[in-house]
A and B are shown apart, each in its own frame.
Chain A
């Protein structure tokens, strides 16, 4: 299965602390994306890292990718109560179905992050 697996399943921290979530996957990928889902809402794209990149930053987010270990991590620095949500990694590999080349996203089970004020 291409599915990413997040670790831990749940994480509870205090505001101001850093939160680290990990994702492992099984086969080669084109890129890996992280999404956030607030309770009762759809997923929101956070950040994307390509297979030839090792680290990427966006605001308080830092993503690393180790293709040799088939793993990625998402670090949220100086967490806030508003960061409370589920976080999903999604691996992308391209297929040529239907004559087009497009990357399907395969999502992991997610990490539930709770940030206490």
Chain B
């Protein structure tokens, strides 16, 4: 398996633009997570899905952020409009309930810079 795949790896955009981050989880995993990592706040869970259904989005910072999972092999995290404070590394991770005790597999991340 190729592991969790994220695209793009790097994104530079201007304030006010829409940004879409993409994730392909490991095949067979039924949980998908979106995290954000910054120096100031560390690694924060934004939202997670179970069987394509959003379960907990309490970590989504504000309405500018939205996430979808139209099928088991694809998820997007969208920021509209983007702001400089959204600059961070965004990670997608997946997991399977049958795995003992919730080990998560992380993608390589998308480094977002909002100018």
Binding site for B on A (CB under 8 A): 3, 30-31, 33, 35, 40-45, 48, 50, 88, 92, 95, 97-98, 100, 102-110
Contacts and interface: CB of A to CB of B under 8 A. Distances in A.
23 contacts: A3-B42, A30-B101, A31-B101, A31-B102, A33-B101, A42-B106, A43-B91, A44-B106, A45-B104, A45-B105, A48-B101, A48-B103, A95-B56, A98-B53, A100-B97, A102-B31, A102-B50, A102-B97, A104-B56, A105-B45, A107-B43, A109-B42, A110-B42
Interface in B23-44: 31, 42-43
A108 B103 contact: no
A97 B56 contact: yes
B72 interface: no
A45 B94 CA distance: 12
B55 A97 contact: yes
Overall SS of chain B's interface: strand
Given A43-B91, A98-B53, A107-B43, A50 B101 contact: yes
